[in-house]
Amino acid sequence: MNRSSFYCDYYAEYSVIYQWDTPPYCDGRCPSYPKTMSWKEDKDCCSWDGVTCDSLTGHVIGLDLSCGWLQGNISSNSSIFLLNHLQKLNLAHNDFNHSQIPPDFNRFTSLTHLNLSNSNFFGQIPSEITHLSKLVMLDLSENSLETTTVKGLVKNLTDLTELLLDHVNMSTVVPSSFMNLSSSLSSLSLSNCDLQGNFPDNIFHLPNLEILN
């Protein structure tokens, strides 16, 4: 799954529900509207906008609330952390009010896709993110983040195909920390992150790398 297809799907019916002649767009691609406004307790949550369920078990395995007008903090007792079977989580393009990324994300032990980009997070990337060993796609870009966890990301996330850390402050990170990135990696984006020093040459020899920014 490429990055753009993971951001969002276009739901044309919301142009009617919210009486938009042309729906506002987020990042030039995604329709921006309060997705959770359509959630009704008397309806099966698997039919809610942005929710994907396993057809056999009924477990929620995907949650896409990108461009969903979410605001505030994500507390450790949030009901989102009860979704034990979650595989894909997209919270991109929301406003989490300069709060920190909760360490509780490590509860999502089945997570393969995590997109928190452009969501106004602040502070250190929690080391607990490095425990999500099944991740194939991680996008934390365009937040006011700092990281000292690169070695953990490289060591533990051995299935990564996409790693996007644009505008994450890496001024204290040694570029050689990236030396042992997953050989499955197809996309690596590190623009405007204040890396200093010599970038390891072996990155350019990763067999599946298609995009390097």
Q: Is the pLDDT of residue 122 over 90?
A: yes
Q: Is the pLDDT of residue 19 over 70?
A: no
Does residue 202 sit within a domain?
yes
- Domain of 174 in residue numbering reads as 53-212
pLDDT of residue 33: 80
Neighbours of 200 (CB within 10 A): 16
Q: pLDDT tens digits, residue range 28-74?
A: 566 778 888 888 888 888 989 899 999 999 999 999 999 999 999 99
CATH number of the domain that 142 lies in? 3.80.10.10
Structural domain count, the chain? 1
Alpha helices in 45-167 (DSSP H): 150-156
Lookup: tokens for 98: 């300069």
Does residue 88 sit within a domain?
yes
The type of residue at 103 is P
pLDDT of residue 25: 59
Mean pLDDT of 134-154: 94
